[in-house]
Chain A
């Protein structure tokens, strides 16, 4: 690949002055020192007696101490959910259920600013994203599924729809509140009750959601929020009192869950890893495609299962695209997640940062040409410079494996067939991107790529109406839209 960086024509994006800090104030944020488990409508101390810390990944300060649910706590939560299911939620007129869900959505909107700030403090994502994407989308999911509550018969024409029972849900740390919304909203709309476990590094917005659910006067036990790590999740998945498992997380854990559930009658949906191909054809609008590449891989520090982490550029425009990409990367502002100008925030945890560093080493050792931006990183906290690898191939580990960080690998291709073949040559199939000004090419390529979501001339667009989910090792089942409702209902003939 051409390594063109003519000195005399380098653009200067740093040095003279920078935007003055514009941090979002956190003075009004109220966090408890210690959070219990939200079971049966109230916060209670864990039977396990254990707590763990949730830290701010941007400065490693302690935000709160959070209960770790043991097997006994999981049992209490499932029992509460079962009782609420049988006594109130499944018996309630559907329209009433819808009202509660609408109320949750409205309360989330009212507290949007607070939720956005906590999301950024707990997870490290830029406030621009939590404010403009995570929180509004989370509320939108509740609004959308609230509408389905009393219209289930339209979801399954000719049949009668009913709930499954208790849903056990496990969500990841990359979009904590949004993933909670994706899980809870369709479950409640269909008449199920919920036991949900947020990720151990990002439990705080889920606990704030517990407050909202309490304030919305939801009947006790309809939503139970239990915090903990892998063992808590395992206890939940294995509990005989749940009828449905919904998991979003790594493919590794997803496979374990699938094995656990084999032979049981529990239904499940899995939304797992990804390694999306983002394909730039020579007839693309190049400057806008570069923007799409940037959004595809550096959104949320690359902690996105549908991140466009494998870039394929057609050879005639490869040198130009890479040069533009490097210039654009230089303008990314990395730093304080609460600063309104921050483009790339903190890596979610020390463990994740270590994993990313491991992959950077692998990439270099495999002969990849690594480029990182020249930005300064804060001295405390977990940070990774936006990174790009050229001189990599399909067999490189950084091309094959999900890094879940701000690391983009770049390969070139010559023909449409080659792009399709390489895009599909991976165990994952969650998402993809295609960039060309030619409409017919969009249809040809997108119909042949085996991925659940493919964006054309854009990337990372989400809407509650649109189903999301994977092919192959990226999972099974869909979330969002009508497709996302179906895994939470069973149907009967009329």
Chain B
């Protein structure tokens, strides 16, 4: 597979900007360290050559940014989408969240992104830079010199069980298009389902009590696009962090996952941005697994215009009591 580099993307952007196809480019620029990157809009090629970055840490899903970006000014926005991002892109189009005509999508092949949190777990916090050009990462640490770690070990959680290397939406492709993969992404959900209710409760209490209610999972989610969110209601009593270190953020997490049930493409952004490393994708995947099991296989964002399972029904659907007993097995 062709490795996508910063230079390849800048060359493509230069071509599209100079021939007038697009008027701006949505991308990432360098933050304080090479591994913390910030979304940015580039309108000229000089600033792009200076600031634009793309490497194995550029995991951000850009689909959601298009909602606001396409509303600003005339002309098309250039966006580089990985295969998993294109599913979110289609899902947003299905929901009429932006104008397809105002976007120029360049699909880029992807061989998995790296999670900086996993590197930090391995080597501690003082990470100066990471060289991610080969399959063995060279990590320069503040106190321990240069360390090496295999890329496979620090792959982002969602890339570990990637569901598709196939782009479902694009105007142009760089690199070859892959295939849909029959992934093992429900394995962890299966394991949890096999536990007893008390064990599951203990597991989730341990995970969700760490939540600091920063709302990053909500803000980054390409399916969460309400302009006014139910959790911003100051009268709800639950808009902030619970005072005690208890399980009380569960409602937020159940509802967050429920609101995207049937529309979640399993892009894994929620887990990527969580500063507390809560495996939020396990909640979303439970809904996806249930929907597949109860109402037939459904992949959100596979095609524009597909009807989501929760706005649909058949007369023979199973009863809620049967649904719960299914999880018993």
> Are both chains from one complex?
no
